[in-house]
Amino acid sequence: MSKSILLAAIISTITIGLHIVGGGKEVHEPILDANLTTILKAYTSILWHAVTVVLIINSVALFCAAFKPIRFQSLSFLIALQYLAFAGLFIFYGLSKLGTLFLMPQWTIFITIAALILFGCRNRRRA
């Protein structure tokens, strides 16, 4: 068992709740209440729920990887890369559009999860 990948899975699962509850109230609902076209609201909902689905699938996969790290090492690595890409997007848009990283701190969660996964993969290779 990989304790660091298990911790990554737990944090990823907590992130689902943060996304749905906190992000829903702060982001998704205000966009749906805004004066946008119906198609833009539909796309927003699709993208919002797609992120939810990705977080759920990644969390389940990480729990599997925590208990069978060698079998799921490639998948773990891909999830780490995906979460690093998410972090990169938050960093890029935070700096380029908002001028700060503090209004959208989600990058910290994604970097943390990715680091834990990569640490678990590295330790598994050494074993």
Span 37-78, pLDDT tens digits: 999 999 999 999 999 999 999 999 999 999 998 888 999 999
**Alpha-carbon gap, residue 52 to 54, rounded angstroms:** 5
Structure tokens at 9: 């899975």
Distance of CA 3 to the CA centre of its chain: 19
pLDDT digits 0-9 by tens, 83-120: 999 999 999 999 999 999 999 999 999 999 999 999 99
For residue 67, the surrounding DSSP H or E stretch is helix 38-67
Every domain of the chain and the residues it spans? 3-126
Q: For residue 69, what pLDDT is reported?
A: 82
Query: What confidence score (pLDDT) does residue 70 get?
Result: 84
Q: Identify the sign of the CA torsion 95, 78, 49, 22.
A: negative
Q: Is pLDDT at 126 greater than 90 in this prediction? A: no
* pLDDT of residue 127 exceeding 60: no
Whole-angstrom distance, CA of residue 112 vs CA of residue 69: 18
Q: What is the pTM of this model?
A: 0.92
